[in-house]
Structure 1
Amino acid sequence: MTQEEAKTNKAEQDANMPEDVTIPKDVKREKISGVFSTQTVAKVGTGTTSRKTIQKAYWFAEQPEMDDDAVPVVAVQPLNRNNIPSGPKEQVPLPDFLERFSPEVEFYQQEVFPRMKELDSTVKRAEEQRDQGALYSAEFEYNAALTVDENNVRANFGLGLTFMERGEPEKAADLFERIVGLDAAFDPEHKHLFNEFGINLRKSQLLDQAVDYYTRALEMAPHDENLFYNIARAYFERGDKEDCVTNLQKALEINPYFEEAKAFLAYMEKQEG
């Protein structure tokens, strides 16, 4: 084939190529999930003794579900010393992620996944023990989980609930400080535990902690009428009637059809009258 013939053939191929080669929206694509690493170069020493070292960090990466028109991101979370994903997550734009992060398939399969599975089993055993009323056994299992990952949300909530169910609010109050510092504790996936913990704080008469807890939660979800209602109840039991009314009004601003809040506010106004 001559050079001229090759040009003609390529032109014909280009003409037959579809204009839109994007992947159709109904095509299912695998989401990124697993362990990846990043590398940074650091300089050690000075002068003639200086040398460069490569530092490697490991991350658990997961691509969240997003709207089709949203900019794709990957949530990355560092591995702790026990090779468990722990601590705050960072949202990394997909192109940046693909450039900076390298897959560590073997490390994930041999080290990280078995440890994650074992941790999950430990927390499940603890939850089963608590459901059955075996509260001291539950404490043991929760503490075993927290030894591996002190930031584990389910284990922290579960241990706090165990202490309150055992009538030991002082221990629950100590644990409270750790829980309010965990951003992940207020994620939607932990909504059930989150609500149960807040209710038990109030029922255990840990009213200052309950107010602080719901205040922290409102920073994460400022448009949740149930949070305003719950903090109003905590204020009421603490004797702060003005703050109670204010938060009931905020709950009704968000949801004017919130019947429990309407009834509570009517009761408060009647008491004032």
Structure 2
Amino acid sequence: MEMMPHKKSGSPADIVQQIKQKRNQLSPPKKDIQRMEMPSQTNTVGAREIMHKITEGEKHLRKGNLFSSIVALREVLNLYTKTKDIQPKDRTTLANIINEVQRKLAESPEFIDLYGKVIFRDDDFATSYDFLCQLIMIKEEEIASVLVNDGINQSLKLDHLSKKDRETAKLMVSLAERGELSMLQELVAANDGLGSLVLAFYNEAGINYRKSGNIDKAIIEYKKALSISPKDEHLHYNMARAFMEIGQKKDAETCIGQAIQLNPYFYEGLKMQKYIEQWIG
């Protein structure tokens, strides 16, 4: 069955361009800033609340929960701009920490996979806030379009499931679409059979996109499948094949290497690895 395309609400690049028309163009980041703690003797309630939210967002990012880390950073920026009871010294320290957090987010593999290269301008928190708000809005619209799509529901084979299992499967899709890796994998571990359904859904979507020539979209769907089952050598094989079709030799080599590492006796993978080595060499 052909997969229905996701609703398109504009790419992150389009959003950046729109914001640039309203504000100054994003500039290259300054040199790395060492993480600084808020001085306890001058720490106000507002500053402590912001630091708590920063810590929460960083934990999400370390776990691979991209969407939650984006939401947390948006809340940090909102608090920073609206909270008045922050002493000047604390405000400067917080600004430096927020700049560092923005760079970590933009440089994370999960963020780059979904949104590409983005540079946040230091101290331009109004632009950052606008950008994150639009990323969140677009992602929620995309998720909504996925969950109400009849073709996708049929592909997931939800009709024969109980109401509880249908809701769990849709939650898995929602987490995969958001890039909430640790939350997704915990849910899959507790519901292995449903995880297999969602895994097959994304893998088949990737195959269909590859066959239709939409390789970039195929790679995105394979990555979602890998977020459910990162140790499946067949998914890494599919990724390698997609990268080969668009001439990205190094990426193909990396993916097939991961497949062989997971299963050294993976015959089809070994054949592809040999082919890629000859291709690169």
Q: TM-score, normalised by structure 1?
A: 0.34
Larger of the two Rg values belongs to structure: 1
Higher relative contact order (CA 8 A, sep 6+): 2
